[in-house]
Structure 1
């Protein structure tokens, strides 16, 4: 698919102050050429202005100008799209229109590359289920679809979908080499070559390699010097074979590998109790600069590896029928080692952690394969009044390496986590950081190590049909339905290790046998000899229909009015690493939307699109705080429980909410060479009710979400203004353009369980500048300059929610000012 016109940089808008100029030279050229944006939001190529869906589109030039490298960067520029960067930009999850992915739930926003859903993953950190590292190069476009897309794209798109469309091999011998250099020693090299091997065979090969030092400065002597770094390589090979004049086979092989120090939170404040009394010196040590942090993990890292194979066969059976088969296989692996809350405490030469995370030797925290198969029939009637699609879909996801596994030291001092050289943090030589209840002994009873061993299997089946019928030349009706069946299975072999004395591990099953569906408990020696004794399985099934019904009216060619009602569905799932709240059911949303898309021509040229929506959200999958005491402690020393309680986060179908709002995007050429793009989103969310689930003996449950309050990651107003000015120069000189993008996002609720002073994420403002000189002096050379966060704004984008158990909280910080220069050489046709 070829993107001819400039794709709107619809970003968010409500105050349109301080307009800036953003350089998108190819966009301006396309606007002048009066081309049209082509999208695949309904699985076929259509003109953007003819599709009754609220969509934001970016072409490759716009992504490059904005220095978009990872999925987290996209949210800055898109109305209604927010991101959760708790685990770094490489592991970002999306929220559209307030539909958030909580913890280990399935995504609420589906991410697709070349029409194939992102590979599955289910682990202790947000991982997989999104755009892989190195996906944002050599693209035709990125499309952000807002609202439920469950009919054509399936479950887990209650918020919407993000579609990445790679450049397809062409019949031209062409390519480019691009090099970039910037601050923090950023170095990036891209190379793409397109070769028409035969008239019927075309290949395209691309490579993207980037490194950059981290912007978080480790002021300590333990671990690396910085965090938040970039170090990845990505490669993509595509081949198109015309097997017959009507039969095309399109194959994509992709591989990416990222190996960094990982993201790192900055300890922000003490809240009392837990580890709070140990953190004063750490907070003081990081006050020299906003981006100073202090690491306490000996060997922190984050490694992500992803491989995918996609094969699409398209047969034009006749002038009115096309049959398409899309098959894929993908693998995703992630290994993370970090102190979850950024604490850096050493007592007696040994690290004392609130919660650490390490993969077991030779294992990954997340390791999953995904296979998909989709058969689709696209057709139209001879008079073009009816367009329809029928399809069947299968997705199978299985563990790659048996059990994925990680170790977490919780309130322990460990010389070596892997050989169990640990002691409880309240050992005899260590004073308790908070008074113990009278008459109780705390030594050896607080700290523990969690060995989380799990494996997950997913099976999804879907059948769908959707069609649009023209009642008149101006009025059309659309109807679609999909039936989805999901089965999720999780197997746990998790252990808990306690240390009644130093270096003396005592093993037990994470879930006591007398509280499970198996008899008895086991001795530490039995468990060491046979960890299978602790194995248990959880399984969740669900089957739901989703649908859409809509009317489209075109009073004139340049105006589209639409109204629709859609049902969205997100599957239930399991988390076998948590006792008591291991499973939850599906959630659903009913969406009502009206919108208008308009285009205008003349001296002032452009388009104006608006959508208003109302969502009725039920069976909402909410994060529940489960506070656990040992059963014996609960009975014998109930007053002690608040102190020794360890916090876990479970998921339950506990909420009901309403979400309503307005989205606007507009693109205007005010005069020759000067374009302005505006995007705006208004969100009004409300959590109407919370029904807490029953939990087993020894647990209390608590929802940190506030009834009557807003949902997380839903700023009320979000907007951006982008303007581009292209100098009126002859082609002998080249094409020179200047500009910037200004974006604003209101304060929003972050992690509901955070400390009161950090629970609200602050407003975000970004000013990004660009300058481009394409075809320098008529040559095939392009030069570009870019700068992001020009005004050096500082704000936290998420918190770690350590307050309940650990007595302190920590922040995930935004990226500082980044700038650089690009040099690109184009060759061939």
Structure 2
């Protein structure tokens, strides 16, 4: 770990430079002490305590104090919120109340910036559908809405929605500049400048630069020294033009460029014949034997022995990928036109266009494997050798022993050329609203259009069991004789449209009824012409030819041998008369998935007093189906539906003891649930090279219930404590049993005509959901020191976050060698923050911060490689970070 090197001179100079800028503009009159916070959970501005929705809100000051810089930081302080970090924080997705997104499924939590959903994308790993790195810069607030939000925010919000509201230009000349220096050589500079060019035209500019070394230390001596670093730039331009006293045009453009060395996983165990869960079969020819699993588990043992001999720590890893990186560029322009047509009617139009691009080269499971030495015999050179028998990998290989000690890669993902992207998508949206506010009736009516179109192909080259300097150029050796390059190439067109309306009628001054309905139309059209490239020709590929990217001699076969092979069950000889070679159009498959579903809401709320409200709500939510070309015959799946029931209480108290207390209890029924199913090929398909896989299928029914507490209590001006708690009980009620092709069951019928002989859902009836701790508790006491006003405002806060144990992956063992793998143990995080605002009456604020004070170490995810590779790998949590922050402000 790097030692902190505090550089006061850096921040003094930063503060002086800030004289060129001016201050943070005054936010809305948010008072987080009593819950008098302005939110837009119902698409109009309302006081938090008047909205019958369970919400957690962070204002600009709280976001700074809690060091919330990226989306994953938000989950630490929001008890109902967790994140899936399987592919690193830049590609993480949200989980609320147990609703989780994985692989190519649609999100369960919508992420909105300035009321517009994140740019859609679908690459080989989780991509898009969220905000870019740096988007938490210069926000008015962040709102976490819990429970289905389908009426006003659309499909794919079964878990809830996260709303980021940027600071809007105002009539005040102001700005700020803030600098942070921390351990791991973190340097973060951000600022904003608000310029009222006239009474009717205002501009706000904001930006951030954030760099930090990685905390995963690579011990292989190959490639980068550290991974899991931070390196992004962010910029935003906001314009407000008051065209008339009743007509406002508000435009926001924001741009994010994150370019890191990617994420890494840590090996903690390897399968052996004595493993209690899916032990390693080492006997060739017996039922369940897998040569590739045997190979990787034995190689894993060699690496694990090296790690043990060195005395590696929790954040030490080995990866031999020389070019690891992850580059995500995302931008979006949003235009909101608001016309106050009368005292009662407001017309609003929100249009946006954005683009997402991702380029990556990373080891799917960080490793530094060599061929193990477990067999003796004749090598490829005809000489006696010790290593691994080729016949263990395939009976069609020569009867030779592959020499031990030779390096090989498992699965390394790369780009497919200089001007290509692993994922690239544009998204256009337009939402039209009519808002009405009368004596007893408030309503919102609207229509929504979304068109997401590919920016070229989503392409990549993935090296499988090769030894590559770069998969992109196929600069590879084939030490195992079975290596190949998977050449993914897909395009997706998404159309998502809806019409909606929601109204609140005041039955009495205290009792209100809210009803809403939305009808959504979804359509996905996917195209693939993916291929498999090898370094030698065979009967299924045709002759060798020169690869135009790397100049290497390769041969190709269509990945979808299901449809594009003359012996395949759906083959068309007229189409597949020739192997693909340079003409990948031979492998083209086009599929469509359509759905249209209503979502609705009924809510009754009663204001006992102006500061006490109770409510009861019923809502229908749905998550759209999807399409993924990974598993031929199982490419599409249908929507899942949710019925949600919730009761809640919102209370505010004022005086010497002030604050608010919000309670919510909920019960959810989930049907037609999207789960993973393990596919096994038929013997005939396996002989042609078809492997098993995990497909998304509709095979489950579940229930979720729980309770949420959110509050803040203050004693005068000296002491305040904010707290939150979530109890979450999730259970799979029913799941389809394992099906065999042609057995007459719904899943068995789906197998007919596919290359797969069986499908087995990866979840079991009675099990809990993944990434869903039963208890999560957060408490933040803050003491404001009673010092003279001339000194400034000095406060000390500490946050304790307790999270109970949970399953992070139900398809792998909970423990391997006594270490958690598919199970995350209970954790306790402590974060500290010292704030000295207006230092000695100056415009300078000083802060000291520490996160993960006690150096808690635990796994946040795993690579799910145990069953296929016999390797236990985890994604570790973040270590202790600490630093100093200076902020210079001019203006109010």
Q: Secondary structure at the match of 2:867?
A: helix
Give 1:577 shift. 3.4
1:210 matched to which residue of 2? 210
1:197 matched to which residue of 2? 197
The answer (yes or no) to whether the contact 2:671–2:702 under 8 Å persists in 1 is yes
1:8 matched to which residue of 2? none
Q: Out of 719, 722, 732, which is 1:674 matched to?
A: 719
Q: Secondary structure at the match of 2:410?
A: strand
1:458 matched to which residue of 2? 494
CA offset digits 1:377-400 (Å, max 9, x no partner)? 00022xx21000000000000001
Any gaps of 5 or more consecutive residues in structure 2? 1-25, 272-279, 281-293, 372-402, 539-551, 739-746, 816-820
2:459 matched to which residue of 1? 405
Q: Distance in 2 between matches of 1:629 and 1:270?
A: 28
CA offset digits 1:341-388 (Å, max 9, x no partner)? 11222457864222211111131111000000000000022xx21000
Aligned: 1:814 with 2:859: no
Give 1:553 shift. 0.7
1:658 matched to which residue of 2? 703
2:669 matched to which residue of 1? 616
Q: Out of 481, 484, 506, which is 2:517 matched to?
A: 481
Q: Distance in 2 between matches of 1:685 and 1:793?
A: 26
Aligned: 1:768 with 2:836: no
Q: Secondary structure at the match of 2:680?
A: strand
Q: Distance in 2 between matches of 1:30 and 1:244?
A: 27
Change (3 A) 1:629 1:341: farther
The answer (yes or no) to whether the contact 1:102–1:623 under 8 Å persists in 2 is no
1:717 matched to which residue of 2? 775
Aligned: 1:735 with 2:793: yes
2:615 matched to which residue of 1? 562
1:322 matched to which residue of 2? 346
Aligned: 1:394 with 2:454: no
The answer (yes or no) to whether the contact 2:96–2:159 under 8 Å persists in 1 is yes
Residues 602-611 or 713-722, more deviating: 602-611
Give 1:564 shift. 0.7
Note the 1:534-573 alignment, pairs <5 A. 534-573=587-626
2:559 matched to which residue of 1? 510
Give 1:701 shift. 2.1
2:369 matched to which residue of 1? 345
Residues 65-74 or 182-191, more deviating: 65-74
Q: Secondary structure at the match of 2:608?
A: coil
Give 1:419 shift. 4.4
1:252 matched to which residue of 2? 252
1:378 matched to which residue of 2? 435
The answer (yes or no) to whether the contact 1:742–1:768 under 8 Å persists in 2 is yes
1:355 matched to which residue of 2? 411
CA offset digits 1:265-296 (Å, max 9, x no partner)? 11121013241101223223334211001112
Which structure is higher in RCO with an 8 Å CA cutoff and minimum separation 6? 1
The answer (yes or no) to whether the contact 2:299–2:370 under 8 Å persists in 1 is no
The answer (yes or no) to whether the contact 2:632–2:755 under 8 Å persists in 1 is no
State TM-score, norm by structure 1.
Answer: 0.90
Q: Out of 756, 778, 782, which is 2:814 matched to?
A: 756
Change (3 A) 1:461 1:31: closer
Give 1:670 shift. 2.9
CA offset digits 1:213-252 (Å, max 9, x no partner)? 0001111111100001000000000000000000000000
1:431 matched to which residue of 2? none
1:469 matched to which residue of 2? 505
The number of residue pairs the alignment matches comes to 774
CA offset digits 1:573-621 (Å, max 9, x no partner)? 1112332321111111000001111112232211111110000101111
CA offset digits 1:87-126 (Å, max 9, x no partner)? 1111111111111102111100000000000000111211
Q: Distance in 2 between matches of 1:581 and 1:305?
A: 31
The answer (yes or no) to whether the contact 1:675–1:724 under 8 Å persists in 2 is yes
1:4 matched to which residue of 2? none
Q: Distance in 2 between matches of 1:651 and 1:167?
A: 40
CA offset digits 1:605-650 (Å, max 9, x no partner)? 1111111000010111112222346735459xxxxxxxx9844222
Q: Secondary structure at the match of 1:591?
A: strand
Change (3 A) 1:30 1:379: closer
The answer (yes or no) to whether the contact 2:576–2:586 under 8 Å persists in 1 is no
Q: Distance in 1 between matches of 2:253 and 2:886?
A: 27
The answer (yes or no) to whether the contact 1:646–1:805 under 8 Å persists in 2 is no
The answer (yes or no) to whether the contact 1:351–1:414 under 8 Å persists in 2 is no
Q: Distance in 1 between matches of 2:448 and 2:366?
A: 43
Q: Distance in 2 between matches of 1:407 and 1:270?
A: 27
Aligned: 1:278 with 2:327: no
Residues 402-411 or 469-478, more deviating: 402-411
Give 1:501 shift. 7.9
Q: Which has the larger radius of gyration?
A: 2
Q: CA RMSD in A?
A: 2.2
The answer (yes or no) to whether the contact 1:754–1:800 under 8 Å persists in 2 is no
2:649 matched to which residue of 1? 596
The answer (yes or no) to whether the contact 1:596–1:610 under 8 Å persists in 2 is yes
Aligned: 1:331 with 2:385: no
Q: Distance in 1 between matches of 2:344 and 2:110?
A: 30
CA offset digits 1:711-733 (Å, max 9, x no partner)? 11110000111111111223211
Q: Out of 836, 857, 860, which is 1:797 matched to?
A: 860
The answer (yes or no) to whether the contact 1:233–1:258 under 8 Å persists in 2 is yes
The answer (yes or no) to whether the contact 2:719–2:782 under 8 Å persists in 1 is yes
1:746 matched to which residue of 2? 804
Give 1:523 shift. 7.7
Note the 1:109-258 alignment, pairs <5 A. 109-258=109-258
CA offset digits 1:384-438 (Å, max 9, x no partner)? 21000000000000001x21111122233345534445565544xxxxxxxxxxx
Q: Distance in 2 between matches of 1:545 and 1:800?
A: 36
Q: Distance in 2 between matches of 1:520 and 1:267?
A: 46
